[in-house]
Amino acid sequence: MVKRAKWYVDFIRKEPNEQTMLKVARLLIDECSELMKARTKKTNVAAIAILDAQDQKWRLICQRLPEFKLRTNGFRIMVLATFSNLIPYLAHWKEAQTKGE
């Protein structure tokens, strides 16, 4: 995860603009799809584990790019807005937000 996060950090630093950030968001979601295809178990639990890992990767990217003032909950916001059917399975994300994470 750290290696891939570093790649994203370098990618963003090369061309820090809105288009780059949209591309990173798309790549993070595409990674989720690739990981789901690679896993033998196709369950909600497996999908949530992948989304949690991607969320941690996003948070690591944010930590390494403080000058950009990225929202640490940005990946969560994007996933919840895009895949509203997953909201019941991602209640732990909502709870963390209310606790100020």
Total tally of structural domains belonging to the chain: 1
For residue 65, the enclosing domain spans 2-98
Q: Please, what is the end-to-end C-alpha distance for the chain in angstroms?
A: 21
Q: How many CB atoms lie within 10 A of CB 5?
A: 18
In tens, the pLDDT along 39-95 reads: 876 788 888 999 999 999 999 999 999 999 999 999 999 999 888 888 898 989 877
SS3 99: coil
In tens, the pLDDT along 16-49 reads: 999 999 999 999 999 998 988 888 767 888 889 9
Q: What is the mean pLDDT of the chain?
A: 88
pTM across the whole model: 0.85
